[in-house]
Chain A
Amino acid sequence: MNAQLQPTGSAYFIAKETEKPENHTLSVLVDNEPGVLARVIGLFSGRGYNIESLTVSETEHEKHLSRITIVTRGTPHVLEQIKHQLERIVPVHRVVDLTVRSHEFGQERPLERELALVKVAGTGEARVEALRLADAFRASVIDANTEHFIFEITGKGSKLDQFIAIMKPLGLVEICRTGVAALNRGPQGM
């Protein structure tokens, strides 16, 4: 009874997806004005696109430009649509698919980094172990008393995932992650 997966055929025809979804990282340069983030997010929710990670901050203050970094997941066809749909938004200056660009440069993926603040509470052996592991991950202690640490760690998402998983049994209290910041390697800008 897999009727949903059959090509049902209709005036609202939904084609069976044969392409595989991929994760791509997009850089979107926008005018930093009220509502611009809502426009971008509204586009994703309204058209049913995924957001895996979203980072936004003003990057060029004098020009009032912000850079939004979005990690999204979709088939190549959907990813192309996302790019074009983003470009339609009036305050959007440029959209670059960093993942596609990195492939053009012969690289597997763009440079992607994330920062996490990780609060771990505990005493005794667990506390010592947490500190030792943090050191191995090059996480730095930015706040501590005798009963807790807050670690700051940067790196690829997978590294942060791993660090957080390790901290779980050692008294992990809470985590804050920034989402992905990304650039392409090499001298060229977006």
Chain B
Amino acid sequence: MSNGQSERREMTGAEMVVQALKDNGVKHVFGYPGGAVLPIYDEIFQQDEVEHILVRHEQGAGHAAEGYARSTGKAGVLLVTSGPGATNAVTPLQDALMDSIPLVCLTGQVPTSLIGSDAFQECDTVGITRPCTKHNWLVKDVNELAATIHEAFHVATTGRPGPVVVDIPKDVQFAKGIYVPPQTAPRTSYQPKVQGDLDKIKAAVDLMASAKKPIIYSGGGVINSGPEASHLLRELVDLTGFPITSTLMGLGAYPASGKNWMGMLGMHGTYEANMAMHDCDVMICIGARFDDRITGRLTAFSPNSKKIHIDIDPSSINKNVHTDVPIIGDVGRVLEDMVRLWRASAKADKKALYPWWEQIAKWRARDSLAYKMNNDVIMPQYAIQRLYALTKDMDTYITTEVGQHQMWAAQHYHFEKPNRWMTSGGLGTMGYGLPAALGVQIAHPDALVIDIAGDASVQMTMQEMSAAVQHDAPIKIFILNNQYMGMVRQWQQLLHGNRLSHSYTEAMPDFVKLADAYGGHGIRCEKPDELDDAIKEMISVKKPVLFDCRVATLANCFPMIPSGKAHNEMLLPDEATDEAVANAIDAKGRELV
């Protein structure tokens, strides 16, 4: 904890909120005022230790807090009012729940005497947010407020991280009570298991040592566990010589320049990663959860492998895929033991893996991320590649919206470090990236923060441009503008006979004028040979930028595991003729996408 914790003393509920934020090391709060949180805003006004970032919509506050959390490893904090303030925060709460992002959401509530009376701006906040938080609290007694907020931070940031809500009625904010500083003794019922079972880790090491065709499949849990976990993961890969792939959420835990890196796996993962997953004999899943976008058809998922699964959440084990060696614990702690045991016992016979690496090289030679370059129109993949080439040596953070651009970013932007890649994986929230970029920029004022966006997604939370301008957050919104909801269209082509029902945006705003209107800077680029200069201009501008990158309108995202198929039935870009796309998913597969 920072700068001198407060002692027990009497104060108002609103004072307690601000004091508790300070005592939990909070520097920034994203929020939007309203009737039921005015006393807290009054306290925020009278101090300058905790900086408040005013957004334009509570959803923006939530995603900004997510970006802040994801890029710092600390809890993101948002403060919203009752009723619509709370309901607007629901989307980011669920987003954070699915991606295991620590968020503390403080909501105002109508006075306790009015709860249940359908009062102005009343809603059942704890009821509405119960399924989309890790835990939530309605505080009715000011003497419990401080302890509850401390507990909220503890629950949000420990174990499998997640969002929490503390709902504070207005009369509790006014009432006086005794403030208690953060306690070290948490409640007895909440005790996440962090240390892995040594016998299980030993069994895993033995299994790994005997593997002929191993693969490491890592996920967001490695990043959540902290920088040390990423470091240990790299060490494990070096020691074992195993190939490694990662989920969307786990990009950056192992460097993309590492020689064992195979690229992302899953629905739009690389051919080599998915084929290796399918054919491996030992799979080491580290902090990932066998999501349906990863596994494809479950009955055909990696049929001949023994599976080791490291996860802090016991409910992730055996949820979708049977695990042979389950290890429950914090990824960092388990990897520490695993690396130690491997050093102590396993012989590093990397030669035994040569045939496997040869096979992988063949798959790799398939060049599954290839695309046809075009000299007249900007291919979206090319745009990402140029963006990467021109920004990779800078202190760069990337956020995305959701859709084709997100997958292209994951495929063609390469990450060397953890916490540099912020994207909505589980919930798939269009509109995540722009406010998330704001949050990242607030946490890292001198860094280059780029939201790789789609033209449809970015319009969902465009209003936060105004917040970025207000707070001098020079975020770069790099819009791959194809005038379609590209991923929706791609699926309509795959599943619905190319009937493009409402996936084309007929009235697109002029993003350059829009940027000007917000007080930012607008850039439009339509030609491949002008792209580099335009990107350099974007980087050099010291204010928020909307970059309207006009890309090939009908490009689709490949490779792809079509719906209903297995990892070894990928649709590769050079095979993706119109006919192949139309027939990629059979009638049965269509029912369930």
B564 at the interface (CB under 8 A from A): yes
Interface residues on A, range: 20 to 34
Contact flag A77-B589 (CB < 8 Å), given A10-B563, A13-B564, A15-B299: no
Please report which residues of chain B, range 98-155, place their CB below 8 angstroms from some CB of chain A when the two chains form the complex. 126-127, 130-131, 134-135, 138, 155
A9 touches B134 (CB 8 A): no
Q: Give which listed residue, B292, B314, B590, contacts A84 with CB less than 8 A.
A: B314
Residue from the list A77, A88, A93 in contact with B318, Cβ < 8 A: A77
Determine whether the beta carbon of B130 is less than 8 Å from that of A38: yes
Taking each of B315, B318, B561, B590, which has the highest tally of chain A beta carbons within 10 Å of its own beta carbon?
B315
CA A34 to CA B126, docked complex, whole Å = 10
Contacts of A12 in B (CB 8 A): 292, 563, 592-593
**Is A178 an interface residue when CB atoms closer than 8 A count as contact?**
no
Q: Size class of B's contact patch? A: 35 or more
| Stretch from B45-53, B186-194, B227-235, B574-582 that touches the partner | B186-194
* B591 interfacial contact with A, CB 8 Å: yes
Chain A residue numbers with a CB within 8 Å of B295 are 13
Flag if B314 contacts A14 (CB, 8 Å): no
Chain A hits for B131, CB < 8 A: 42, 46
Which of these, B267, B315, B588, B589, contacts A81 with CB under 8 Å? B315
Q: How far is the CB of A99 from chain B (nearest CB, A)?
A: 19
CB-CB under 8 A for A8 and B564, given A38-B130, A91-B189? yes
Whether A6 touches B588, Cβ cut-off 8 Å, given contacts A31-B189, A85-B315, is: yes
Interface membership of B313, Cβ < 8 A: yes
- Asked if B298 is at the interface (CB within 8 A of a chain A CB), the reply is yes
Q: Are B315 and A9 in contact (CB under 8 A)?
A: no
Picked from A13, A38, A90, A92, the residue with its CB within 8 Å of the CB of B155 is: A90
Let me know if B593 and A15 touch, CB within 8 A.
no
Nearest Cβ on chain A to B588's Cβ, whole angstroms: 4
The A-B contact count (CB < 8 A) is 90
Residue of B nearest to A7 (CB): B299
A88-115 residues with Cβ-Cβ distance < 8 A to B are 88-93
Whether B130 and A11, one on each chain, are in contact in the complex, defined by CB atoms closer than 8 angstroms, is no
CB contact under 8 A between A11 and B563, given known A34-B138, A42-B131, A93-B189: yes
Least distance between A13 CB and chain B CB atoms (Å): 5
Shortest Cβ gap from B564 to chain A (Å): 4
Question: Given A10, A80, A84, A89, which contacts B589 in the complex, CB threshold below 8 Å?
Answer: A10
A30 to B314, CA, bound (A): 19
Among B130, B189, B564, residue most surrounded by chain A Cβ atoms (within 10 Å): B189
Q: How far is the CA of A2 from the CA of B292 in the complex (A)?
A: 24
Complex Cα distance A84/B315, Å?
5
Asked if A35 is an interface residue, CB under 8 A from chain B, the answer is: yes
CB of A11 within 8 A of CB of B564, answer yes
Q: Are B127 and A90 in contact (CB under 8 A)?
A: no
A1 within 8 A of B: no
Is residue A39 contacting chain B, with contact meaning CB distance below 8 A?
yes
Would A11 and B135 be within 8 Å (CB), given that A88-B315, A90-B155 are in contact? Answer: no
Q: Across the two chains, which residue of chain A brings its CB closest to B293?
A: A11
B287-318 CB mask vs A (1 if < 8 Å, else 0) is 00000110111110000000000000111011
| Bound Cα distance from A74 to B551, whole angstroms | 50
Q: Which residues of A contact B187 (CB under 8 A)?
A: 31, 90-91
What are 15 A-B interface contacts by the 8 Å CB criterion? Answer: A3-B588, A8-B592, A9-B592, A11-B293, A11-B296, A11-B563, A13-B299, A13-B564, A38-B127, A81-B318, A81-B319, A87-B315, A90-B135, A90-B187, A93-B188
